[in-house]
Copies of this chain bind each other. A is one copy, B any other.
Amino acid sequence: MSITAQNPEASIEPMMLYMGRLAREAAGELALAATDVKNAALGRMAARLETGSEKIIAANRQDLEAAEKKGRDAAFLDRLRLDGLRIAAMAKGLHEIAALPDPVGTTIAAWTRPNGLEIARVRVPLGVIGMIYESRPNVTADARGLCLKAGNAVMLRSGSDSFLTSLVIANLLTEAVTASGLPEAAIQLVPTIDRQAVGFMLGGLDGAIDVIVPRGGRSLVERVQQEARVPVFAHLEGVCHVYVDKSADLDMAKNIVVNAKMRRPGICGAAETLLVDRGAASSHLAPLVDALLHAGCEVRGDEETQRADTRVKPAADDDWGAEYLAPIIAVKVVDGLDEAVAHIAHYGSQHTDAIVTDDQNTANAFLARVDSAIVLHNASTQFADGGEFGMGAEIGIATGRFHARGPVGLEQLTTFKYVVRGQGQTRP
């Protein structure tokens, strides 16, 4: 990367536009890159991270010191911290991406018309992906690896707290990319912490950026969704529900509810609200609440739930629809499927919602009527994950309705074109 940090007085717009043009050119080359070349690059990227791990850790130490001085909390510092183990995990992730099948060039559908025209929908890369990440340098390696494998160029804007770490990592990755004969601009880091960079990327850099992938806190994702002039793969929040129907097996319901909330309360697929069918309240409500409390979960309930167990705290209005990302759950008794579906439509985030029931008809109605990216029957919401779906690594979960809904893996980082082969056909 020949571009260096700019004079803070000057506008970064020309630099950003120039990077966009480089990315677009690189995307044209990457779209045609052979699978083994891309895989070799991913292998080299992994190797460079490992041989460069001391450099990375030294830069990371500086980022950590600055973040501590700013008074960042322990969870923030932990996300920012890289060590030998985390760098080895980053390298392993890149090797795993190399082992995934290449989606580019595969035929999604093919048919022959009565006039002999052979029509195929063929996967091609999306183009240029703009990534706007806050301070979690380890996950950006995976994300950039996925983009490269799918034949896309990447422009990454790193949060300022992890900037030095990101810069060292970017230089190592670029060395690996160019050593593999791929264009230098395949993976670019925006070389400034100037916050204007985000705005320029959201504007699409004069058509150079095809899609934005933000990863970070709610305020970042909210800004991106509100301001982006190009498509966005993101979810603002995961307000996931489990609805326990009157025909639910109690043991299964307890296992699923406790797992959906407590396995990892901080992930986007964690359940935030438990809805219990009034028809199951007398038999299931108290045992479900007890299982949650026993697992260390705070329970905030409506009046009926409070009556079921004195340890339940009263739920306030803003508990419905809250994304706790913590061992807290809101519990409400509802009048059957209709109220459950209406509650999810009103308070949910179209991410992931589950029903527990032994009644197949009720299950089918729930799966059809709940309008979320992922709907589950008799399974934990924590399965909302590309790896668990068998897609390999993922960049995240998207809750928009277009193109990539649910886990965003390799295939979701491609689009398609129609390839038509004829023998001289003209249209009558």
Binding site for B on A (CB under 8 A): 28, 31-32, 105, 111, 113, 117, 119, 124, 126-127, 210-211, 231, 249, 252, 255-256, 258-260, 263, 345, 363, 367-369, 371-380, 382-383, 388-390, 401-403, 405-406, 415-427
Contact = CB atoms under 8 A, between A and B. Distances in A.
A105 B369 CA distance: 12
A113 B383 CA distance: 11
A111 B411 CA distance: 16
B427 A378 contact: no
Nearest to A376: B420
B249 A424 contact: yes
A16 B418 CA distance: 37
23 contacts: A32-B369, A111-B390, A113-B390, A231-B402, A255-B424, A256-B424, A375-B420, A376-B420, A377-B421, A378-B421, A378-B422, A379-B425, A379-B426, A380-B425, A380-B426, A383-B422, A383-B425, A388-B427, A401-B415, A402-B402, A405-B415, A405-B418, A406-B417
Of the candidates A211, A374, A403, the one having the most CB atoms from chain B within 10 angstroms of its own CB is A403
Contacts of A379: 117, 420-426
Nearest to A225: B229
A126 B390 contact: no
Given A403-B402, A415-B401, A376 B422 contact: yes
Contacts of A367: 419, 421
At the interface, is chain A mostly helix, strand, loop or mixed?
Answer: mixed
Contact of A263 (B124, B263, B383, B426): B426
Contact of A210 (B117, B119, B363, B401): B401
Given A111-B390, A210-B401, A379-B422, 5 more contacts: A367-B421, A375-B419, A376-B422, A378-B423, A402-B403
Given A401-B210, A427-B388, A417 B263 contact: no
Contacts of A403: 402-403
Contacts of A422: 376-379, 383
Given A211-B402, A402-B402, A418 B373 contact: yes
Given A117-B383, A401-B415, A426-B263, A420 B368 contact: no
Given A117-B383, A426-B259, A389 B373 contact: no
B255 A426 contact: yes
Contacts of A375: 417-420
A259 to B, nearest CB: 4
B418 A124 contact: no
Contact of A406 (B231, B252, B418, B426): B418
Nearest to A114: B390
B417 A402 contact: no
B124 A378 contact: no
A423 B345 CA distance: 25
A425 to B, nearest CB: 5
A191 B419 CA distance: 42
A368 B124 CA distance: 9
A376 to B, nearest CB: 4
A427 B387 CA distance: 12
A417 B388 contact: no
Nearest to A263: B427
A281 B129 CA distance: 40
Contacts of A210: 401-402
Given A259-B426, A402-B402, A427-B382, A124 B371 contact: yes
A367 B345 CA distance: 44
Contacts of A373: 417-418
A105 B367 CA distance: 11
Of the candidates A117, A255, A363, A390, the one having the most CB atoms from chain B within 10 angstroms of its own CB is A117
Contacts of A371: 28, 31, 124, 417
A117 B416 CA distance: 29
